[in-house]
């Protein structure tokens, strides 16, 4: 069965420091996409970063980078230089490249950035 696991329900980080949010996934599909989304208290899911299963390099988007370790089936999100506005829920998700046309989400990690 396809599954996303986020083992950190909540995390604190000091402003301007880096933080890593963990994500492991389980799939037998050879092709899939991995995503990270941010959800502020307003509810909107904001796309942060994407990694394809065949991508050789780790994805980066500004202060966000994805530490993709395919053999370990992990896709950790690294946020550098944390800002107060980074306080939110963060969800890891997987999109199988089959005919399911859906995202499978983890349970999320609540990040709180301390001033």
Partner 1 sequence: KAGVTQTPRYLIKTRGQQVTLSCSPISGHRSVSWYQQTPGQGLQFLFEYFSETQRNKGNFPGRFSGRQFSNSRSEMNVSTLELGDSALYLCASSVDRGGYGYTFGSGTRLTVV
Instruction: Enumerate binding residues for partner 1 (CB under 8 A).
Output: 33, 35, 37, 42-47, 50, 91, 93, 95, 97, 99-108
Q: Could you give the CA distance from residue 58 to residue 72 in angstroms, rounded to a whole number?
A: 14
Residue 50 CB, shortest distance to partner 1, in Å, is 5
- Planar angle of CA 69, 20, 94, nearest 5 degrees: 50
Round to whole Å and give the CA distance between 42 and 58. Answer: 30
**Residue with smaller CB distance to partner 1, 28 or 41:** 41
> Rounded to the nearest whole angstrom, what is the least distance from the CB of residue 18 to partner 1 in the complex?
25
Q: How far is the CB of 95 from partner 1 (least distance, A)?
A: 6
User: Which of 3/114 has CB closer to partner 1?
Assistant: 3
Question: Is the CB of 48 or the CB of 82 nearer to partner 1?
Answer: 48
Report, in Å, the least distance between residue 115 CB and partner 1: 27
Radius of gyration of the chain (CA): 14
Q: Could you give the CA distance from residue 30 to residue 21 in angstroms, rounded to a whole number?
A: 24
Residue with tokens 């996409």: 33
């Amino acid at each position: 069965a396809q599954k996303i696991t986020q083992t950190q329900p909540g995390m604190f980080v000091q402003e301007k420091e880096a933080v890593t949010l963990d994500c492991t996934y389980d799939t037998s599909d050879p092709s899939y996409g991995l995503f990270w989304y941010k959800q502020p208290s307003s509810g909107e899911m904001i796309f942060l970063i994407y990694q394809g299963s065949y991508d050789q390099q780790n994805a980066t988007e500004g202060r966000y980078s994805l530490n993709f370790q395919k053999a370990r089936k992990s896709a950790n999100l690294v946020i550098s230089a944390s800002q107060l506005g980074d306080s939110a829920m963060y969800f890891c998700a997987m999109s199988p490249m089959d005919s399911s046309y859906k995202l499978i989400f983890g349970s999320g990690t609540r990040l709180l950035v301390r001033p």
